[in-house]
Structure 1
Amino acid sequence: MKKALPFYLILLLVFISACTDQDDNIFVPDAETEIQDFIWKGLNTYYFWQADVADLRDDRFGSQEDYQTFLSQYSDPSDLFDALLSPEDRFSYITDDYVELQNARAGNFDSNGMEFGLIGYTDSDRVDGYVRYVYEGSDADLKGIKRGDLFTGVNGQRLNRANYFELLFGESSGQYTLDMAAFDTQDMIVPNGQSVDLAKSPATLNPVFLVKTFDLSNGVKAGYLMYNRFTATFDQKLNQAFGELKAAGIDELVLDMRYNPGGSVNSSVNLASMITGQFNNDLFVSLKYNQKQQRFNTDYKFRSTLSGEGINSLELTRVYVITTARTASASELIINGLDPYIDVIQVGDVTTGKNEASVTLYDSPSFRFDDEALNPNHTWAMQPIIARNENSIGFSDYIDGFVPEVPLREDLRNLGVLGEVSEPLLARALSQIDPSLAPKFLPLPTLAGKELLGSDWHELLKNDMYLEDPL
């Protein structure tokens, strides 16, 4: 190939006694800094870069007074968390509402059914939006929103770098009016005078978005799966999808993860085992922890069962993976983990480059949610990076992302219909299997602008790769 790149990663800890006496008994905070105390002790124990952060050293404080003075500098716990992160860390985060985090982990969101991307520009502060796809039966679907639709504003306000986050992700974003747009003759996105009212409601979003097969002209039967997030509660649905592909007798598989920002490591292992099947019990990936937690280093192996039932394995020796800059984390784990075993042909754009895993830490003696001594005074939790992954041959250096063998970026002027042979990225992937399907259109000039956050960026989940099971 190329450069061979919870819910609860409570991976920590069957016994918190695993911590040193100094870590366990360091100092007791006063009530006003109990959250700050939880943050410091959790990061001191499990943070991947703990040894590199001066304020997280085991000998940082000489007395209770020193420790208390340090914590008291940060009235906002988020400020302390940010101050303790390594400059290398791009992905750790904290929340003041772990209930919402848990719901998001299970795939439960408030959603209007429209998944979108955003484009920013270097020559102005304007921001434009485009629709990636729409969930069937959702409010957006019922209002006629479809893939490729464009928008420039919300509630009559032109989107820009200063306001787009609040308008589309803020507290008042449960209901809004989307100001629609279109391309003009100069390929500029401009308002078209139309608007659509959209409202979010509780929804459980199935990440197994599309499953199809294609009988190609060269006699090959190709399967296609669009998978949009590694959500453990949908692993059975994923296995069912592979059961359909297996029953259809596919010869090749196109795995579309262009909009998949990551998720459960366990789900990634399951998916890899579904694609293959001939490597049962062989090493898929390993997770390596900081020097204080080497005993938690974990090997994830290919498996043959899921929740006691057989995995529908295809035993493929090659897979085509559609990627974009939004492909991250557990999605990249699939590429890295499979690469030593089968041919992984990447089609699309360079991936994000996230090779670390995180864990949800709660304010309890074991940092676990199911601890009877969980602090009832607040709902803060944090998701720090605690491990780095490497594949079976020890490769882990893909922080700049995986570069595709078959490069092609999505073009907003020609997004196509997902799952149709004419959709540009799928067409390019299928043409690697059947050359007669090689796209006959000429690439258009590159549009100005750079991708910003999209709806796949969840305020709590972000581009996350997390562990679910305690050791």
Structure 2
Amino acid sequence: MKRMKMKRLLLFAFLCGSLMTSCSEDMDDVVDDGVLTDPENVEIEDFIYRGMDEIYLYKSDIPELADDYFDTEQDYYAYLADWDTPANLFYQGLVASQDRFSFITDDYIALENSFSGISQTTGVDYRLYRFSNSNDIFGIVRYIIPGSNAEGTAIKRGDLFTEINGETLTVSNYASLLASPSVTFSLAEINDNTVTNTGEEVTIANSEITENPVLIQDVLEVEGLKIGYLMYNSFVADFDIQLNDAFAYFAAENIDELILDLRYNGGGRVSSATAMASMITGSYTGEIFAKKQWNEDYQNYFLANAPDELFNYFVDKIQGGTDINKLNLSSLYVIGTSSTASASELVINGLKPYIDVYLIGNTTTGKSQASVTLYDSPNFGRTNANPDHKYAIQPLVYESVNANDIVVPYDGIEPDVEIEESLSNYGVLGDPSEPMLAAAINAITGKTSKIQTRTIQKEFNYQEFAESSSLKPNYKRMYIDELPSLNLRN
């Protein structure tokens, strides 16, 4: 449909929304009888289409988003009405094949809460594994969220479980069982290379909590070195002050090196990742931390009118104006896993042109794109969002590369020191003997350059399947605060 026709149609639809009775006959003149079988769904789908048409990173790969794809208004509305649900339109019609991370939600309140670290949870953070040649799965506890209902119970890091509420976990029931109002974990152990129940059960109620992503901050003294250790589990802007306080602690301790544990960090807000990178270095304020590559329309506009929108710069303040606490480090040791994604990878990749960054663990996720929340409003912002529904979309809007134009590989960042968590030896987080932390310490002290642990995974055949954060709306997301106020297409 020609762009001029689209604009006339949208105006017509808006006027008819205000004067539904008087417009009903005229609407029949615009759309064949029966095309708009569900006006409310078409209203939502119209918003979805307009949002993707506006700023989607891979717009040029979707033929239906071409300016001249629809010949008439009838064709456009018939296309929208042809989809059973808004989600089907989004995922099957408008998301490119190479896009693993754009998503839609029918509850943007829950999405906003997740961006602030708020969720319904027992407080048990876990990783799930699937047995080979089976639909059965089992889980292992990675850590207990402080202040949650799980804190102080019998369940702890390294515990395995195979059943929830008396039912064996499978690929089809795990999500509903683990989201139950009350969750009973049937604990298990490894015997003769099999996972078997111990008979012990722990029941924990789900509740709403706000998780501080700063899980551990400590200073370890090893061979005359002061090594800072920070376990940080999500880039949440609401906790930038706590993050900055952690760096104040490290600065006061005058640490020599920093181990940044991002093994369970699936990403988060770009501004928080930029602030963290600035705290680590402290020497590059105003220089390029990352470059943004938008779709053709936005890229060309920014090149001509607002070139600063194409860059993230190192900063000297967090949001709100507080000075950041700087460490002025020339090297960084990062613990990462397959759960390490997006904004975590942004920190690793963005710092590499400036300091030595060493990755200890295994290959990360491989996500270099940022997204933004679009609401059903005239400018896609939260203000004046359509009160009739809670749908929002979170499309990828730009790809991030570092100052040397290097992108995070699609298959992830490979480790310099290779080690993975072993189910039989999870260790205690923050303890220098915990295997992954020990490997990072050894890398600092020069005791190892490349190691690989033999894990029980090879012995009884299982594969990573999911994790507790995969049930949250913001799973493995890197997102910006808001849409640039351009609205170029509409």
TM-score when normalising by structure 2: 0.87
Compute the displacement of 1:208 (Å).
Answer: 0.6
Q: Is 2:315 the partner of 1:303? A: yes
Deviation for aligned residue 1:434: 2.1
For 1:91 and 1:201, how far apart are their aligned partners in 2? Answer: 27
Match of 2:26 in 1: none
Q: Percent identity?
A: 40
Letter in 2 for 1:203: I
Provide closer, same or farther for how the CA distance between residues 26 and 314 of structure 1 changes in structure 2, counting only shifts above 3 A: farther
* 1:280 to partner: Cα distance: 0.9
Deviation, structure 1 residue 385:
0.7
Match of 1:273 in 2: 278
Q: How does 1:345-364 map to 2 (within 5 A)?
A: 345-364=358-377
1:162 aligns with one of 147, 172, 186: 172
Which residue of structure 1 lines up, in the alignment, with residue 16 of structure 2? none
Helix, strand or coil for the counterpart of 1:176? strand
Secondary structure (helix, strand or coil) at the match of 2:285 reads coil
**Compared CA separation, residues 99 and 390, structure 1 to 2 (3 A):** same
Query: Who is 2:445 aligned against?
Result: 434
Q: Residue 139 of structure 1: CA displacement?
A: 1.5
Report what 2:262 is aligned to. 257
* CA deviation after TM superposition for structure 1 residue 195, in Å: 1.0
SS of residue paired to 1:140: coil
Q: Which amino acid aligns with 1:314?
A: L
Partner of 2:413: 402
Task: Report the structure, 1 or 2, having the larger helix content.
Answer: 2
Instruction: Quote how far apart the aligned CAs of 1:141 are.
Output: 1.8
Residue number among 77, 86, 90 corresponding to 2:96 in the alignment: 86
Task: Specify the alignment match of 1:369 in structure 2.
Answer: 382
Aligned to 1:75: 84
Query: 1:210 maps to which residue?
Result: 216
The answer (yes or no) to whether the contact 2:380–2:483 under 8 Å persists in 1 is no
| Kept after mapping to 2: 8 A contact 1:222/1:250 | yes
> SS in structure 1 opposite 2:469?
coil
What is the identity, as a one-letter code, of the residue corresponding to 1:430?
Answer: I
Going from structure 1 to structure 2, the CA distance change for 1:197 and 1:129 (only over 3 Å counts) comes to: same
Q: Per chain length, whose mean CA-contact separation is higher, i.e. which structure has more relative contact order (CA < 8 Å, sep 6+)?
A: 1
Cα gap change, 1:423/1:68 in structure 2, threshold over 3 Å: closer, same or farther?
A: same
Secondary structure of 2:67's match?
coil
The farther-off stretch of 70-79 and 227-236 is 70-79
1:388 aligns with 399
Classify 1:134/1:409 alpha carbon distance in 2 versus 1 (closer, same or farther; 3 Å).
same
355, 363, 376: which one aligns with 1:342? 355
Distance 1:136 1:98 in 2: 26
Q: 2:337 matched to 1:324?
A: yes
Question: Which of 226, 229, 238 matches 2:231?
Answer: 226
- In 1: Cα distance, 2:399 partner to 2:91 partner: 20
Q: Provide the secondary structure at the position in 2 that maps to 1:412.
A: coil
TM-score by length of 1: 0.91
Give the match's secondary structure for 1:214: strand
1:198 pairs with one of 190, 204, 207: 204
Residues 26, 424 of structure 1: alpha-carbon distance in 2 compared, 3 angstrom cutoff: farther
Say yes or no: does 1:178 pair with 2:188: no
Conserved 8 A contact 2:349-2:408:
no
Aligned equivalents of 1:243 and 1:318: distance in 2?
18
User: Do the aligned partners of 1:134 and 1:146 also contact (CA within 8 Å) in 2?
Assistant: yes
In structure 2, the CA distance between the partners of 1:469 and 1:368, relative to structure 1 (3 Å rule), is closer
Instruction: Give distance in 2, aligned partners of 1:68 and 1:438.
Output: 60
Structure 1 counterpart of 2:251, from 243, 246, 251? 246
Matches of residues 55-66 of structure 1 in structure 2 within 5 Å? Answer: 55-66=64-75
Which protein shows a greater Rg? 2
Runs of 5+ consecutive residues of structure 2 not aligned to the other structure: 14-35, 303-308, 485-490
Alignment partners' CA distance in 2, 1:317 and 1:150? 39
1:120 offset after TM fit, Å? 0.8
2:24 aligns with: none
Select the residue among 120, 126, 135 that pairs with 1:125: 135
Once residues 225 and 22 of structure 1 are traced to their aligned partners in structure 2, the CA distance between those partners, rounded to angstroms, is: 55
Contact map agreement 1:181 1:192 (CA 8 A) in 2: yes
CA contact (8 A) 1:23 1:41 kept: no
What RMSD, in angstroms, separates the aligned Cα atoms of the two structures? 1.9
1:416/1:438 CA distance change after superposition, 3 Å: farther
Determine which of 440, 446, 450 is the counterpart of 2:463.
450
The one-letter code matched in structure 2 to 1:62 is D
- 8 Å contact from structure 2 (residues 5, 72) kept in 1: no
Cα pair 1:427 1:438 within 8 Å, conserved: no
Match of 1:54 among 37, 51, 63: 63
Q: Would you say the 8 A contact 2:114–2:472 is kept in 1?
A: no
Change (3 A) 1:79 1:187: same
Distance between the aligned counterparts of 1:289 and 1:458, measured in 2? 29
